[in-house]
Amino acid sequence: MPITPVIDHAVINVDDELNQAQHLFQRMGFQLSERGHHSMGSSNHLAIFKDNYLELLGYEADRQTSSRGLWQVAPGLAGLVWKTADAHAVWQHLQQCGLEGEPPTAFSRPVTLPDGSTTEARFCITRIRGSALDYGFSFFCEQQTPEAVWQPAWQVHPNTVQSLTAFVIAAPQPVQTLALYRQLFNCVPRMDAQGGYVLDSGTCRLRVISHDQAGREFALPPAGQNAPAKMVALCFQVASLNQLRQCLTQGDIQWQEQDNALLVTQQQAQWLAMRFHL
């Protein structure tokens, strides 16, 4: 079964620091959803955009059902999540590719809609085998109730972010890291003008670049010669850089000016680097 790559959302693992993460991202001008609690024990906040979103995923001590939750990875940008309309069909494809993780898993979380009514957001996910990527986790998400996520009132952000546009992985050998996605989607990534590789995937591209390139583009600290692949940065489209600057200033968040873009470094955003562009 051919699968078209479309990124659904990016996950930042914040472990038990959900309060700190919520405060930080609100200071950067993101509108965050009320804290949600999954039936599997994790908790989250979402920043919802036009057709994708950012998830701050963690846990509350009194709700956690198992150690470290579902992700078993270090804090930081940790999850690359793909859209699917049929998690069970994807599971069969993963089996054919030898990339299957756990079988499809259904879960949910209660949601209060903007009009005050309550509903339930329901999902079914199928995971890529964890040993296939040692720099985070990746799975396919069947959004069974998209109306419980993509509400217009939740898509308006003071910093004017419109969409998540790039998910960036730094790797010692980008071509080797890309092999997983070439196998998964049976497609050939293209080279970009900055010297990395791009997998077009809906409105959000997957970029795989060298550690040196990531250091130059995102002001990341130097990586060791044998540093493993790592999810390092996200890029966002905004409607107004001036309004973004105002939000960052009010939130006491420092930034660096780039060509028609602003960079919030990992030192400021704590878990990752973030670039905002028109």
**What span, in angstroms and rounded, lies between the C-alpha atoms of 55 and 45?**
6
* Residues 164 and 57: beta-carbon distance below 8 Å: no
Span 216-238, pLDDT tens digits:
999 999 997 789 999 999 999 99
pLDDT at 89: 96
In the predicted structure, residue 84 carries a pLDDT above the cut 80: yes
Task: Encode pLDDT of 93-118 as tens digits.
Answer: 999 999 999 899 999 989 999 999 99
> What does the pLDDT look like over 16-27, one tens digit per residue?
999 999 999 999
Question: Is residue 53 very low, low, confident or very high in pLDDT (cuts 50, 70, 90)?
Answer: very high
Confidence of residue 73 (pLDDT cuts 50, 70, 90): confident
Tens of pLDDT, residue by residue over 146-160, are 999 999 999 999 999
DSSP-derived 3-state class of residue 20: helix
Mean pLDDT for all residues in the chain: 93
Instruction: Report whether pLDDT(67) > 50.
Output: no
Residues contacting 25, CB < 8 A, separation 6+: 32, 45, 47, 56
Cα–Cα distance, 141 to 160 (Å, whole number): 26
Which two three-digit tokens encode residue 165?
């546009």
CA dist 31 and 54 (Å) reads 11
Tokens matching residue 28: 């950067």
Is residue 278's pLDDT more than 80?
Answer: yes
What are the pLDDT digits (tens) for 239-276?
999 999 999 999 999 999 999 999 999 999 999 999 99
What is the architecture of the domain spanning 7-152? Answer: Roll (3.10)
pLDDT > 70 fraction of the chain, expressed in percent and rounded: 96
Provide the residue ranges of all domains of the chain, joining segments of one domain with +: 7-152, 161-277
Pairing state between β 230-238 and 190-191: unpaired
| pLDDT higher than 80, residue 64 | no
The mean-pLDDT minimum among 53-67, 71-85, 149-163, 181-195 falls in 53-67
Residue pair 187/5 in contact by the 8 Å Cβ criterion:
yes
SS3 161: strand
Size (the chain), residues: 278
The per-residue pLDDT for 171 is 96
Residue 72 has pLDDT above 90, yes or no: no
CATH class of 161-277: alpha beta
Of residues 114, 133, 123, the one with CA closest to residue 85: 123
Average pLDDT of the residues in 117-123:
95
pTM equals 0.95
Under DSSP, the state recorded for 156 is: -
Q: Decide whether 7-152 matches 161-277 in CATH topology.
A: yes
